[in-house]
Amino acid sequence: MSQNQVQAFINRMKNDGQFRQDIISCTNIEERINRCKVSGYNISQEDILSLMLNYEKKHSVKKNLPNTWLCKGPCHTQCTDISLDC
Amino acid sequence: MLFWSRYNRIIRNPDLGYFLYNSLSNVFIELDECHFKLIEQLSYSSSVTKNGIEPQFLNTLLANYILVEKDTESKILMERHYKRLQSCFDNTHLFLTICPTLRCNFSCPYCYEQSQESTTIMNKETINQLIKFIKKFSDTKHLSIAWYGGEPTLAFDVICDITKKINDIDIIFDQASLITNGYLLDKKKIDKLKSLNIKSIQTTIDGFEGTHNSRRTLKGGFPTYQKIIDNIDYLMNSSFNGSCHIRVNVDKKNAKEYPKLNEYLQNKYEGSNVFIYAGNVEATGNQKYDIKYTFCSSEWSRFALELYRGNSVSTDGKIYPLGNLHKICAANTHNSLIIGPDGELYKCWKDVGNVEMVIGNIFNEDYLVNRELVALYNIGTDPYLDSKCLECYYLPICGGGCANLRFRSKFLNEKGLEFCSLYKDHIDEYLMEYYDEVKSKDLCMDFLNINHDTIENGYRIIQSNIETDKIVK
């Protein structure tokens, strides 16, 4: 399944409480996948895992999109995040 | 006695819930209604007593500077200012941006440099003086170089010559980067990158072939897209093991094309060290370019949000603020200098070729001539010395913005320059967008029966910059 379709499925889970409840209340992943198929989403466990890992990857990028607004030089590819060590 | 931090921000979103954000600690907390009401009450109080706040929650509020003692915030800012100054005046590293020539083979309409017609190429005498100049920094242990221009590949022999001479100096040459339009970065040059210690390349593609070729042409209007792509292909399949950053200069003309281009380039270079990112085209008053096509800050903010929403995987970066941001660059760092082909010195990349912005010359015994200009850049643009910035809620996640824009606004009285952080007017949107993705990730984890933090105990920290146990007193 394409990433956009998986995203559409997650968006419906987010916005449709009843649908989310129907899916999550299933006792195991296999049953959830079957329930998804009944609802028109031909989703695999790998699809969901892949989307989850994509979120993690996206959140772990060291750059900051709003900050590129002001920068010209190559350092804007890795804005400095100096962690507190106090 | 405890006080409600002035860096707190309460967000009540009808669709997403209740939140608390603190820009000083950069912590983002999700709350249930009960904890939200408690937080609201605290925010109304002139001073806070610990009574009635459950110990664990209180600990979280203290650890993340939500509740602070008198003067705590000003002391933290002072410490950050000190660290910033430490970085600005560090003399163990020398960062040189060297322009072997200011000449360029391109004629991009939006270019901010003023000397592309110059034919000067750094000569032997200047190269030798440059080496003597580097040797003067006797306390300096490390050297980093950015090759810049003009187009530095037009003077590639100079790069080779200088590198060879630097290798004979008693200094640790950490690395070099090359800022190039990519057109002349052919096989012969790519095969030399490793020996030149060049570990990072920045090049520019402004769109798919048609768009790119309408903007980034050779002088004379000849297309450049395919040759640049061929060169990047060869680069990433060569023995070069550094990174390649593809900048896409985005304005209203090519913004719609960018997400697809990003996706195309990401797929093309999947698995290799290529990073694609959007950079805004700045209005420079260049007569070849109509400034109506540039984004203002709020337009860029919207563009950044849409971009983030649209790409499930993006190398552009995340939108959650970077905490404790110092935002220093060559302009405000003492041991960072930009060197022109005649040995002239500048403080900012944007000043290259502008004689009024020359701060000195490597041929001078005392290389700094215009100390006033250096002071204005180093000290005059320090946000911690600006009363408005010091009072600003966003300073900890802004860091003061672009030194060049601050300088021009403050000391050259240029009007309409926007140097404040985009977070200033859009923090709620960015935080909610970020939360929405966290929620999506949670749902994926729920689906897969993977445990994750929940709001079951009344609150959860969604994002934190602090190791809590280190600062609880």
The first and second tokens of residue B76, run together, are: 């933290």
Evaluate if residue B468 carries a pLDDT over 50.
no
Residue B20 tokens, joined: 């608390």
Show Cβ contacts of residue B345 under 8 Å, excluding neighbours closer than 6 positions: B337, B338, B339, B358, B359, B360, B361, B362, B367, B368
* Average pLDDT of the segment spanning B273-299: 82
CB-CB neighbors (< 8 A) of A63 in chain B: 275, 277, 315-318
State residue B67's pLDDT score: 96
A67 touches chain B (CB under 8 A): yes
**Ranges of H-type helices in B141-289:** 156-166, 187-190, 209-215, 225-236, 258-268
Q: Work out the percent of chain B whose per-residue pLDDT is above 70.
A: 95
Q: Specify the pLDDT at position B115.
A: 66
What one-character DSSP code corresponds to residue B283?
P
pLDDT of residue B287: 67
**Among B residues 343-372, those touching chain A with beta carbons less than 8 Å apart:** 349-350
String of DSSP letters for B98-122? E-SB---SB--TT---S-TT---B-
The answer to whether residues B218 and B183 touch, using CB atoms and an 8 Å cutoff, is yes
Place of tokens 């998804």: A36
> Would you state the structure tokens that stand for residue B11, as one six-digit string?
């967000």
Give this prediction's pTM: 0.89
Report the helix count and the strand count for chain B, using DSSP H and E: 16, 15
Say what angle helices B156-166 and B124-135 make with each other, to 10 degrees.
30
**pLDDT for B288:** 76
**DSSP-derived secondary structure for B407-430:** HHHHHS--SS---S-THHHHHHHH
Amino acid B324: pLDDT: 77
Q: What is residue A78's predicted lDDT score, i.e. its pLDDT?
A: 44
Res B45: pLDDT? 87
* Amino acid in the structure at residue B37: K
Contact A66 B83 (CB under 8 A): no
Planar angle of CA B171, B175, B176, nearest 5 degrees: 115
Closest of B136, B132, B176, B114 to residue B358, by C-alpha: B114
Q: pLDDT for B411-466, tens place per residue? A: 999 988 888 888 988 999 999 999 999 999 999 999 999 999 999 999 999 988 74
Put residue B327 in one of left, alpha, beta given phi > 0 → left and psi -120 to 50 → alpha.
Answer: left
Q: Which of A52, A58, A85 sits opposite B445 (nearest CB)?
A: A52
- The dihedrals phi and psi of B399, each to the nearest 5 degrees, come to 75, 5
Rounded CA gap, B464 and B471, in Å? 13
> What are phi and psi for residue B243, nearest 5 degrees?
-110, 155
**Integer-rounded Cα radius of gyration of chain A:** 19
Nearest partner of B26 among B467, B381, B463, judged by Cα: B463
Nearest residue to B378 (alpha-carbon basis) of B322, B331, B419: B331
- pLDDT beyond 70 at A80: no
CA dihedral (B135, B180, B222, B227) positive or negative:
positive
Which residues lie below 8 Å from residue B69, measured CB to CB, with a gap of 6+?
Answer: B1, B2, B3
Region B352-364 average pLDDT:
95
Per residue in B197-231, pLDDT (tens digit) is 999 999 999 999 999 999 999 998 999 999 999 99
Q: Does residue A71 belong to the interface with chain B, where contact is any CB pair within 8 Å?
A: yes
Q: Smallest Cβ distance to A81: which of B25, B277, B323?
A: B323
- For the cut 70, the answer to whether the pLDDT of residue A4 exceeds it is yes
CA distance B426 to chain A (A): 10
**Taking a C-beta distance cutoff of 8 angstroms, is the pair B401, B421 a contact?**
yes
Quick one: pLDDT at residue B239? 93
* Mean pLDDT on B140-168: 96
Asked if A52 reaches chain B (Cβ–Cβ under 8 Å), the answer is yes
Two tokens at B304? 């950044």
What pLDDT score was predicted for residue B290? 83
d(CA B379, CA B150): 28
Asked if A69 and B443 come within 8 Å (Cβ–Cβ), the reply is no
**Chain B interface includes A33 (CB < 8 A):** no
pLDDT for residue B311: 65
CA distance B279 to chain A (A): 6
Judge whether residue A66 has pLDDT over 80: no
Q: What is the pLDDT of residues A41-60, one digit of tens each?
A: 999 999 999 999 988 887 77
Q: What is the pLDDT of residue B289?
A: 81
Per-residue pLDDT, A70: 64
CB contact under 8 A, A74 and B312: no
> What pLDDT band is residue B159 in, cutting at 50, 70 and 90?
very high
B304 to chain A, any CB pair closer than 8 A? The answer is: yes
Q: B328: which chain A residues are within 8 Å (Cβ-Cβ)? A: 80
Percent of chain B residues topping a pLDDT of 90: 71
Smallest Cα distance from B98 to chain A, Å: 13
Summary mean pLDDT of chain A: 79
Asked if A68 contacts B279 with a C-beta cutoff of 8 angstroms, the reply is yes
pLDDT at A81 over 50: no
By Cβ distance, the residue of B177, B430, B446 closest to A66 is: B430
Q: Tell me: the pLDDT tens digits for B63-106?
A: 999 999 999 999 999 999 999 999 899 999 999 999 999 999 99
Residue A73: per-residue pLDDT: 52
Q: How far apart are CA B28 and CA B463, in angstroms?
A: 5
| Contact status, residue B208 vs residue B256, Cβ threshold 8 Å | no
| Chains A, B: CB pairs < 8 Å | 169
A18-31: average pLDDT: 94
Looking at every residue in chain B, the average pLDDT score rounds to 91
Interface test with A, best of B79, B442, B447 (most A CBs within 10 A): B447
At B291 the pLDDT is: 83
